[in-house]
Every structure is written in C-alpha cells, then in structure tokens.
C-alpha cells in the first residue's frame, strides 16, 4: 500500500467511541454534546451532512461499494462517496467485502456475502489499492454476515480471505462483532476461533450493535463479552463504533455511554493506547 497512507493510518490517534450520524433532531443534539477527545462520528455517504459538527472527528462507512463485485462499480457513485468522505476529513472509509449487483443492474439492497473463488483475493486487493491510490484516503475492509454457503464457504474461509488480503496489501479491517457472531452461528464455527485467526491483522475499527445489553438478553450478553475479547486481542484498534439500526434513541444513547465507560476502563489500564 501507498507508504504515505500507511503513515497516515499509523498517525491516527485512538478516537474513542463512535456514534452514528443520523440527520434527526435527537442525533444532531447528541452530536453537539460529544467530547471530541473521547468520541467520533461515523457518517454514511452518500447523504446530507449540512448539520454535522465540524469539531468532532469522523470516519466514513458505506454499504454501496461492493468490494467483491466482479463488475466495474458505478464510477459516479464511487466518486461521490469518496469525495464526501474527503470533504468531511474522515480518517478512513470502510465498506464490505460483498456483492451488491449494483454495477450490473441487480440490487440486493444489502451486503450479500461473496462467492469465494480463485480470483476473489486478487480482485479484492487490486480494487481496494486502486481506491487508495486514486482518492488518497485510507480504506478499511469489513466482512459482512454469512447466512448461507454458495461454494462451501464457512466463517473461517471468509475471514481467512479477509486476513490474506489485509496482510498482502497492508489494508486494515473493520471487525463487526454482530456480523461475526451471526456467521459463527450459521456456519458452525467458533467466534473465538475467528478472533484468534485475525490476531495478527491490523483491526482499525470495531462495530458493536446497539439494541441494548440486559441480563435477560443472552445474545446481547454474548456480544458484550465478545467486545471484551476483541479489546484484549486487537492492539491496533483506533475506534469502537456503536451502530444504529433504527432502534430507540434513548436506548442507543444509554448504550453509547455504557460503552464509553468500558472503553475508559480499558484505556486507563493501558490495554488501549
């Protein structure tokens, strides 16, 4: 990867807890309350960012640049997404190792897991490096959830692919905890085994869900425990984003604050730089 971009990634400080940017009054007011030394915003281009606070650090995340697609992507869309990320001075832009079909007129509407064939690793690496050279902004790769297998893929084969491409290109990854838990459950592999597989990969960002962490919700307890495992395993993390999925804003805000407390504990103990 471009040496200048590697240096830029290495120079990024730990950003803290990421909050989703949503163009709604509650989120706009919440964003104004954030501490730029403890929080950042995750913006989702293409969108309207007229009300985004200028003083809060930002990262960009898209679901419209299918990094694993065989076809050429929509260049107008690619340019628009990267330009918005650059205009907002985002530290990086992330998207999924997925196929959307947007380039060939078929839209799956969400991240569709890739068919792992002999050409995918090279195709993925070339595409991501091309984006980095063209737009001079760090790009990070995220593996989406796997609900089924099309070519005998399983959770480990997905993340082995991600690991190989990352190590061969120096391109970091996003580790999405809900996606990985879903993949592990659906393909019969261990979440811990996937985390162990990726321990030598540069994980720049963690994603965690925001549906709430209660004593009666087993899946959320699992997710919270998974977060702690990741914090203890990946020393290169620059931010932990609390994702928003149209859930209740009050619950979302409470969980951002709870996550911030956990991150502060890890930071004070020296686990997070």
pLDDT computed for residue 105 by the predictor: 46
Instruction: Give the pLDDT of residue 37.
Output: 92
β pairing state of 16-20 and 39-43: parallel
Mean pLDDT by 10 residues, the chain (273 residues): 87 96 94 94 95 96 89 91 98 91 49 82 95 97 81 80 96 95 88 96 92 50 86 95 87 90 86 75
pLDDT at 113 (0 to 100)? 78
């Amino acid at each position: 990867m471009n040496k200048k971009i590697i240096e830029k990634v290495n120079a990024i400080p730990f950003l803290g807890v990421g909050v989703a940017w949503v163009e709604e009054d509650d989120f706009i007011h919440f964003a104004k309350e954030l501490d730029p030394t403890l929080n950042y915003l995750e913006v989702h281009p293409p969108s309207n960012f007229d009300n985004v606070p200028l003083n809060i650090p930002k990262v960009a995340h898209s679901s419209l640049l299918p990094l694993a697609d065989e076809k050429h992507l929509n260049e107008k869309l690619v340019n628009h997404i990267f330009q918005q990320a650059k205009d907002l001075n985002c530290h990086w832009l992330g998207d999924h190792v997925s196929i959307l079909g947007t380039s060939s007129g078929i839209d799956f509407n969400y991240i569709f897991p890739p068919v792992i064939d002999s050409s995918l690793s090279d195709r993925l690496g070339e595409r991501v490096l091309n984006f980095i050279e063209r737009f001079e902004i760090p790009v990070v790769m995220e593996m989406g959830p796997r609900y089924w297998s099309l070519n005998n893929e399983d959770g480990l084969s997905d993340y082995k692919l991600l690991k190989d491409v990352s190590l061969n290109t120096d391109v970091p990854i996003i580790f999405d905890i809900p996606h990985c838990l879903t993949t592990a459950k659906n393909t019969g592999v261990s979440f811990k085994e996937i985390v162990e597989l990726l321990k030598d990969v540069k994980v720049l960002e963690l994603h965690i869900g925001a549906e709430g962490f209660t004593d009666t919700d087993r899946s959320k307890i699992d997710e919270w425990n998974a977060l702690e495992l990741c914090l203890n395993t990946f020393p290169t993390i620059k931010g932990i984003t609390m994702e928003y999925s149209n859930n209740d804003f009050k619950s979302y805000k409470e969980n951002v604050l709870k996550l911030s407390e956990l991150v502060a504990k890890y930071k004070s103990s020296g686990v997070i730089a």
